[in-house]
Each structure stands twice: as structure tokens, then as C-alpha cells.
Amino acid sequence: MAVDINLLPVRSFSPEQDISRILSLRASAEAVDQEGIEINEQALRAQLNLPGHDPILDRWVIDDPNDNSALIASALIRLTPGTDIADANIVVHPDWRHLGVAGMLLSRVIERAYQLNASSIQVIANAKHTDTPVFLHKHGFVSQGAYTELRLEVDVRLPPVIWPYGYTMRPYSEVQDLSILTQAMNLSYIPLWGHQEVSQEEMVSWLPNFNLPGLFLVFSEKGRVIGICRVEPSPDRTQKNGKPTGYIDAPGVVPQHRRLDLYRALVLSGIRWLREQGQILIEMESWGDKLEVLKMYRELGFKDIRQLVCYKRKLITQDNTG
């Protein structure tokens, strides 16, 4: 384009005039990217009022030099109260990508992160954008882990469930021990990205929302809990897909017992249970699983719906002591 990018002014977001422009920008990006991200005015206005976010100081836009009613890019940062990791997001119109626009906005994000005394900045990027890692690595970001959403069709034939010697699976409805469940939830995902430690009190509040017949625990030969898998019929996914859809929260195994045949037995058990409940599609969410585990899921017949990668840049402490 015959425009000097460096001359394009970056200005603060205006709630009065930029709501519809942001929605239009994101719609243009989604039309090309096909990421399944939908946002409406109500959701956007709710984001503006999130704790730890000042839309005037924490958002920036660049106007389209050829259209006063449009934007070519936007960026935001948010530091959630109680944390020191700032979340950032940059959206560039497809017609203005690869021209340096994202870099201009990222410099504003980094500057603001220092003002907020954040220790680091993290961004989430779709893995389908193969140029994104190059851009982020150039600016000091390092990959932390990935969220992967997968789908298994009903016509996929699966191998039998074979449990490694010494391991047994029991539904939580037979165990009925909150301390064991909490231990399984915490230890089975250490130190995978996307998971955090939960307290027994939190488990008490979550338990009523779990489908207990589909909550499975795995025990070692010594009787210690070493794995977990949670599955359930999903009304929301069923409505979205137009057919009965089961959900799997990807299995977790404590570090010293992690082996592919154990992961395989867990996920196959979950699939079998869901199919027995009449679920046609099965969708699974994985947070931070290792590449070999994801490869095994794909070999069973799962196909990626999407994969989002988290990148983090640590901020160097600015020494003001002189």
C-alpha cells in the first residue's frame, strides 16, 4: 500500500466512537481467519468494564487512512487484579497485515505493561497463523503451551481398552473421597501449562456441576490415585453441533506414571462411556499436553478443531535507583 506505516497515528480507544468500528474490524478478521470467534456489542462492552482494565489507557486503535469510519488495527492489555501477568491482544485487518502495524501496537502494549508493573506479557495466538511465532519470537516472546480442541466422529473405529498391568480405573461415584479427588486433580496435571492448583473447598463448589458417573480416577497397584479423566454429555456443544455431543476434559496422569498406554486407556474408556450414552460426536479439550500425547489422540482418530498457543515475554525490571 502506498502509505508510510510509520506516519499512521496510534490513538487511544474511544468508547463513544470505536465500539462499532472494533466489531467491524473483528468481523473482517474472522471472515478470513475462520477461528470461530464471535463477539457482539454486549460482550465487548462487558470487556470494557472488567476489573483491572481501563479502556482509555489500556486500548489503542489505528484509523483507516482511506476510510474515516473504519479501523485497520486495535490492541489491548489487561492486568487482572491479584496477578502480575498482563494479557494482551492485537487484531490487524487482513488487508494491513505484514506491514509493521502489529509491531507499532505491540510497542504501546509493552510500554503500558511496564507502567502497570507487570512481570510479563502473555498473548494467545492461533496455531494456523504460521507467521505469528516468527513475529513474537522476534519481540522476545517464548511459547508456554497450547490449548487444543479436538473432535472424534462417530464412524471412527477404535481399538479395545487395554489397561497397563497394575492400574485400575474406578468412577468417582465408587470412591466418594473429596481429598483423593482433589489430589488427583492437582497432581495429574503438574506442571502442564493451563492448569492451576485447586483447593478442596473449590472442588466442593465444582462437584455439583460434574457428571459423577463420567468422572473416572485411576489407581496404581499400590492403591494410590495417579490419574483422572472427566467426561459428560454436553448440552451446549449438542446445541451448537446439532447432534448429541459428548465432552472430554483431557486425561491427566501424575508425572512419574506418565506413559502413552495409560493415557490411551483413559481416553478410550471415556469415549466408550460417552458412546454408551448415545453421544454421536465427541469433543475434547487439552491444556498443555505434550506433543506425543496429542499425536496419540490424533492417531486414534481425533481431528483438530483449533489450537491456541500461549506466548509469554518476561519484562526486564527497570532500575530507577540511578
Q: How many angstroms separate the CA atoms of 176 and 188, rounded? A: 18
260-276 vs 291-300: helix crossing angle, rounded to 10? 40
Dihedral sign from CA coordinates of 77, 80, 86, 90: negative
How many CB atoms are closer than 10 A to CB 190?
11
Written as tens digits, the pLDDT of the chain (322 aa) is 557 788 889 999 999 999 999 999 999 999 888 887 778 899 999 999 999 899 999 999 999 998 989 999 999 999 999 999 999 999 999 999 999 999 999 999 999 999 999 999 999 999 988 899 999 999 999 999 999 999 999 999 999 999 999 999 999 999 999 999 999 999 999 999 988 899 999 999 999 999 999 999 999 999 999 999 999 999 999 999 999 999 999 999 999 999 999 999 999 999 999 999 999 999 999 999 999 999 999 999 999 999 999 999 999 865 444 3
Whole-angstrom Cα distance, residue 30 to residue 257? 41
Question: Residue 317, CB half-sphere, CA atoms under 13 Å: how many?
Answer: 4
Q: What predicted TM-score, i.e. pTM, was given to this entire model? A: 0.86
Q: What is the pLDDT of residue 318?
A: 56
Query: What does the angle CA 131 – CA 86 – CA 140 come to, to the nearest 5 degrees?
Result: 40
Domains contained in the chain, CATH given? 5-118 (3.40.630.30), 150-309 (3.40.630.30)
Strand runs labelled E in 8-134: 10-12, 59-64, 67-79, 85-92, 120-126
Contact 231, 248 (CB under 8 A): yes
d(CA 52, CA 50) in angstroms, rounded, equals 6
Residue found by looking up cell 491479584 in the block = 82
